[in-house]
Amino acid sequence: MTIKIKELPSAERPYEKLELYGEKNLSNAELLAIIIKSGTKEETSVQLAQKILKLNENAKEDNLNFLRNISIEELMQIKGIGKVKAIQLKAVCELGVRMSKPSNYKKIKIKSPADIAKILMNELRYEKKEIVKLIILNNKNEIQKILNVAIGGSNFANFCVTEILGEAVKIKAPKIILIHNHPSGDSKPSKNDIEITAKLYDAANMVGVELLDHLVIGNMEYTSIMGEIAKKLNN
């Protein structure tokens, strides 16, 4: 016999539990259950939520970021998750992504590669395609703009050095930083990453623009290509 949510003690129902003890005391499944609202005749909303969590390919990671890359169609393959519930879940995920971004990155002063990683890590670490971004800074190393310059495949993104510098020269940017992600989660720069960095560095110098760094974002890790080059020169 299936036990319905309303038949559980108040302290075990997601809605009531949140009201009594606060959202921090709910499990991921219970929070998801509140979003999807109802279950089926056979399963409660919490049980449905647990099925959603099992879609996580990397079950060792106890977080919900994997939902960013799951399609509405994949969610709807779970019995009890219709189009409306799937859309609700995707909408909540996107709100979470937007909430994790700085409300206003302009005038943030960049003192180290870690500052850049902190701003863009959550946005880039779960992307399934390589995304290349250009960060425009002023003479005080304060961010002026962050631009998308290329979107590639799962392991390579093409971008034009001339186009990147064109954006910088157009707004008279004295300094730039390039950043892209590795969908594999490994932030180790490829041979192509290092070569394109050297090419961009030389070309930027010719037009009076300083390339401060090129960062590669992995899964909760990052690598400064300029830092790696400096290490090799010092050895």
Assess whether pLDDT exceeds 50 at residue 1: no
Residues 61, 29: one domain?
yes
Residues 81-124: pLDDT tens digits? 999 999 999 999 888 877 777 666 777 899 999 999 999 998 89
Does 57 reside within a domain?
A: yes
Say if pTM beats, i.e. exceeds, 0.75. no
Does 107 reside within a domain?
A: no
Mean pLDDT of 15-42: 91
The number of distinct structural domains making up the chain is: 2
Residues 129-180: pLDDT tens digits? 899 999 999 999 999 999 998 887 655 666 778 888 888 888 889 999 999 9
Residue whose entry in the numeric block shows the structure tokens 């300029």: 226
Does 106 reside within a domain?
A: no
- Domain with 172 in it: 113-234
Residues 79, 120: one domain?
no
Residues 33, 96: one domain?
yes
* Cβ within 8 Å of residue 94, ≥6 positions away: none
Does 206 reside within a domain?
A: yes
pLDDT band (50, 70, 90) for residue 228 = confident
Distances 138 to 104, 167, 193 between C-alpha atoms, Å: 16, 14, 25
